[in-house]
Amino acid sequence: MTDELAPIPAATFPLSARSPGKCIVFGEHAVVHGAPELAFAVDLTTQVFVTRGGSMRLNADPEALEHNAYFRAAVEHGWSDRSPVEVRAVSRIPRAAGLGSSAAFVAAITAAFSAAQGGVARPALAQRCFEIEQGAQGVGSPGDTSTVVAGGFVAINGGPGEPLWSIRSTDRRWDVRRVSDPGWVWVVAYSGIPRSTADAVRSVSARLAAPGGPELLEQFRRVATDGISAVERGDRRAVAELLQHNQVLLREVGVSHPRLEALIEAAAPAAEAVKLTGAGAGGSVLALPVPGKETELIRRLARAGALPFVVRPTAVGAGLVTV
């Protein structure tokens, strides 16, 4: 286990930083409204290489500041001297698939910029990454960015013990805590349907503001709270039941999709539970395999037309790469 509170040290160009992606187990969408969430960092990473350059470029694109809202927000909020830098980003995380590709890009580039500006404490890095991601996306919670900055299993607004840190927006505060990794194998399958996180967040927000919304949010809160305790004590059967229950709620707020439901059905004989993960409306499903049926589960999801991955939680959060 790495020290989740280790700061990002000062470094000079050229430098490289890396961040894991993430996978949400319980509580996506509801976390935006202050309910608990559980997520873990996955061992698919985005790595950036940053050096001084003649103009501000990302992957050789001289107009990247206009083309890429995350790059623009990272430069505006995270690179105060604004001198031109060349950034190259290489990612193994599929985009728009609910696996945190944007949070990983933001965390890697912000870690690199912060190192070049004298280093940063990890809680401040998590806060900065949240502001940058929100600046680019317009909506959302700090769940993704705090998970990739912390590494390991992370509870937002739940979980045991003292917070690692707290993230603030103008009207909300989210506490971020460490949860133990139960050591299970998880499978994620990308449906191939890209979607906009911001659109999905807005439509769920409207649903939760409508009649019956507060009661639904309370159910999300209960499932995630119980889910965090069940993961913490390694109670697989309870986790499976709560994952299924969380999917019922996500369906109810309108972010499932016929393709996701088809994947859930195809996976069922080899999975203890399957739910969508991330914003939904496309994107990916997360499955807890029946032990010993991992390969069958992968085969079933691939046959149903998805791109499945075995995702391994990683304890290593965003940080510099020594080159």
- Contacts with ligand PMV, residue ranges (CB under 6 A): 28-29, 31-32, 98, 100, 140-141, 143-144, 197, 201, 278-279, 283
- Nearest approach in angstroms of CB 289 to ligand PMV is 22
CA-nearest of 294, 302, 249, 256 to 272 is: 294
- Nearest approach in angstroms of CB 232 to ligand PMV is 21
Question: Is the backbone peptide bond immediately before 14 cis, with ω within 30 degrees of 0?
Answer: yes
Residue ranges in the chain assigned as alpha helix (H): 64-67, 69-78, 101-116, 122-137, 143-150, 197-209, 213-232, 236-252, 258-267, 294-303
Angstrom distance (rounded) from CA 158 to CA 117: 33
Which CB atom, from 56 or from 149, has the smaller least distance to ligand PMV? 149
Which CB atom, from 50 or from 253, has the smaller least distance to ligand PMV? 253
Which CB atom, from 8 or from 39, has the smaller least distance to ligand PMV? 39
Q: What would the two tokens of residue 50 be?
A: 């940053």
Which CB atom, from 16 or from 197, has the smaller least distance to ligand PMV? 197
- Nearest approach in angstroms of CB 46 to ligand PMV is 13
Q: Which residues pair with 178 in a beta bridge?
A: 154
- Nearest approach in angstroms of CB 187 to ligand PMV is 17
Which CB atom, from 116 or from 188, has the smaller least distance to ligand PMV? 188
- Nearest approach in angstroms of CB 105 to ligand PMV is 12
- Nearest approach in angstroms of CB 188 to ligand PMV is 11
DSSP-derived letter for residue 8 is: B
Which CB atom, from 141 or from 191, has the smaller least distance to ligand PMV? 141
Which CB atom, from 141 or from 225, has the smaller least distance to ligand PMV? 141
**73: three-class secondary structure by DSSP:** helix
- Nearest approach in angstroms of CB 306 to ligand PMV is 16
Q: Which residues contact 235 (CB under 8 A, 6 or more apart)?
A: none
Instruction: Supply angle C-alpha 224, 281, 234, rounded to 5.
Output: 25
* Phi, psi values for residue 35, rounded to 5°: -80, 165
Q: Which residues contact 9 (CB under 8 A, 6 or more apart)?
A: 115, 119, 320
